[in-house]
Structures are given as C-alpha cells and as structure tokens.
Amino acid sequence: MIHPTAIIDPSADVSDGARIGPYAVIGPEVSIGRGTDIGPHVVIKGPTRIGEDNRIYQFASIGEDPQDLKYDGERTELVIGNRNRVREYATINRGTEGGGGVTRVGDDNLFMAYIHIAHDCVVGSNTVFANGASLAGHVKVGDYAILAGFACVHQFCEVGEHAFLGLNAVANRDVVPYTLAVGSYAEAKGINKTGLRRRGFDDLTIAALHRAYMTLLRQHGKRDQAIAALQTVAKGHKEVRRFIDFIEGSERGVVR
C-alpha cells in the first residue's frame, strides 16, 4: 500500500491499511491512521496526527510550518480527525506557541482545492470549504458551517455552526451561528434557512431563529435590551439560546 517512490521518515507511524501514493513525502513525527489515502506528491510535515479513512489528494501540503513571523522553530502540531477529504493544493499549517501550539480539524469535512487553514485554527466537523476559501490564524469554525468559494476569515474571528459565508465574502467579525453572510466586508442577510432545512431543522425552530435575528442583528436599540426581550423564546429553543450566547461572548463583535 506504499508506493516505492514515496519517501517516509523512519519515525513516521503509518498504520496498516493506509495508502501512500507516488512521490509523497512523509516527514518525522507524522502519524497516519488506518484507511487514510495519501495521494501523489503530497507533503506532510510533523508533528502531525491524521486519523482514519481520510483522503488527501495530490499536491496538498499538510502540517507545514506556520506562516507567522513570530514562529522560531518551536515544536507545534496539527491534529486532523477522520473521514476528511482534502483536495488538490490545499494547505493546512501547524500551530504556534502563542496560539496554544495546535491546529485542529474535526471529522467529515470537505476541503476543496486551494483552501488554506492557518496556524492555531480550530475547525469542527461536517464543514465545507469551497475552492480558495481561507482562514487566517486563530480562527474557529463551527460544525456544519459552509464557506463558499474564495471566502476569507480574519484572524481571531469565529464562524458559528450552521452558518454560511458567501462567495468572495470577507468576515472581519464573528459570523453568528445559523446565519447567512455575504459581501466584503461581510454583512448578515438573514437566517441560513435553506441549509437548516437540509439538515432537518423544523419550521418552528427556523422561525424562532429568524425572530432572534431580526431583534438582535437589525434592531437599532441596545443589544442588552434586545437579548432580554428574547429570553422567553430562548427557553423553548436551545438554538436561540446558543444564538444569544454567541453574541454575548463575541470579543470582536458580530457581522450585522
């Protein structure tokens, strides 16, 4: 299952059942789980841990040094979960000491060609990054979020779960869970109703989230007053409670 032209460091741990394609380069302190398929010319630098049943396509660069001027060769790592698909020319960098030392990726994500995940990012599970989508350092992306083609997220921002960031959008603030944001700089355009319906959210929950959006993101009054007005709705919907908690906890402010 390992092509004879592949170069694998003796300290790498390649599980039985993993596949390594022609001319791939697997560096020291790299761990590759069972069933993971590493394509031709992929370069993986450690310390990097990759779980099971992932597929990494040709010419991807995984676990390279962070693109941070403060990085001075200290030991940092990248951790990738299971069943992810990483397409051609994708780049995922390790963490930095100042950011906790670890870049983390969950399970069942689709990363299309030319995406970039920078140092110290935390990406959840079941996300989709379309071609060219990029995260600067220290970004968090929640489960089931979608970044359309060439969408970019500023460092230290967060994209909430089930959010949709549109084509060419630039998020310089936090994108609230369940919302749809477009433009440069990104502006919120409503609840991500189509995505929520596809994932089984019922009409009552979507309607409650829409009311929360109208009150919290478009009201001209004080935020604290708007949040107080929604406490009754939040009691019946954990999604609305999450919506409110995210806004209250945002350090950079939210996309409105």
**Does residue 119 carry a catalytic annotation?**
yes
**Rounded to 5 degrees, what are φ and ψ at 54?**
-85, 160
> How many other CB atoms are there within 10 angstroms of residue 207's CB atom?
14
- Separation of alpha carbons 172 and 56, rounded Å: 30
Give Cα 201 distance to the centre of its chain: 22
User: Which residue shows structure tokens 């031709």?
Assistant: 40
Q: Which amino acid is at 182?
A: V
- Separation of alpha carbons 225 and 232, rounded Å: 13
- Separation of alpha carbons 167 and 164, rounded Å: 10
Q: How many contiguous H segments (helices) and E segments (strands) does the chain have?
A: 5, 27
Tell me which DSSP letter residue 51 carries. -
Q: Which of 37, 68, 107, 120 is catalytic?
A: 120
Tell me which DSSP letter residue 97 carries. G
Q: Which of 137, 142, 160, 166 is catalytic?
A: 137
**Does residue 13 carry a catalytic annotation?**
no
Residue 23 zone, left/alpha/beta (φ > 0; ψ -120 to 50; rest): left
**Does residue 220 carry a catalytic annotation?**
no
Q: Which of 41, 116, 119, 162 is catalytic?
A: 119
> Annotated active-site positions, please?
119-120, 137
